[in-house]
Amino acid sequence: MPFAAWVAVAVIALLAVLAAIGAWRLRALSHRVGSFPCHARAADTPSAAFTLGIAHYAVGRIDWYRCWSLALRPARTWSRERLEVTGRVPLDQAGQPDQYLVRCRYDGTDFELSMSSGAYAGLASWLEAAPPGRRDLVL
């Protein structure tokens, strides 16, 4: 077998291993208790596409992971004390039933999340369940 064929087989095997690791990571993230599909984008570019992701409730924070990544750490972490929901819009008219566009602010930076109505209800409840004195987190 020529050397170029061995290189091609090695590249294909490496890609298969990376795909398997990525699929395992995605499955592990999505099957955690407290995880939900949540897509994000910057608020200053509303025409930009959402980055697909999975959010996970942790103690006092939400960790957000990109779907198509091999990173073990979250891409974003939002602390409950500093996360504010500034608005929400149902995306039914945009052809996405049971989805909300949720506008948020974290440390003065605005961003948007796309999530199901059930995930939004969970987010709103989680923010409202903050310790006493922090009842202004949900619009």
Residue 22 within a domain: no
Q: How many domains does one find in the chain?
A: 1
Is 66 a member of any domain? yes
pTM for this prediction: 0.82
CA–CA distance from 98 to each of 11, 30, 54, 56 (Å)?
42, 19, 17, 20
Contact criterion met (CB below 8 Å) for 75 and 53? yes
pLDDT of residue 114: 94
In a domain, 57, yes or no: yes
pLDDT over 80 (residue 66): yes
pLDDT at 91 over 70: yes
Collapsing DSSP to helix, strand or coil, 8 comes out as helix
Look at 46 and 102; give whichever has higher pLDDT. Answer: 102
Task: Please compute, for residue 24, the number of CA atoms within 13 A of its CA located in the half-sphere on the CB side.
Answer: 9
Which range of residues forms the domain containing residue 48? 32-128
**Alpha-carbon torsion angle 50, 53, 57, 62, nearest 10:** -50
Measured distance CA(13)–CA(17) in Å, rounded: 6
pLDDT (0 to 100) of residue 43:
87
Residue 133 counted as domain residue: no
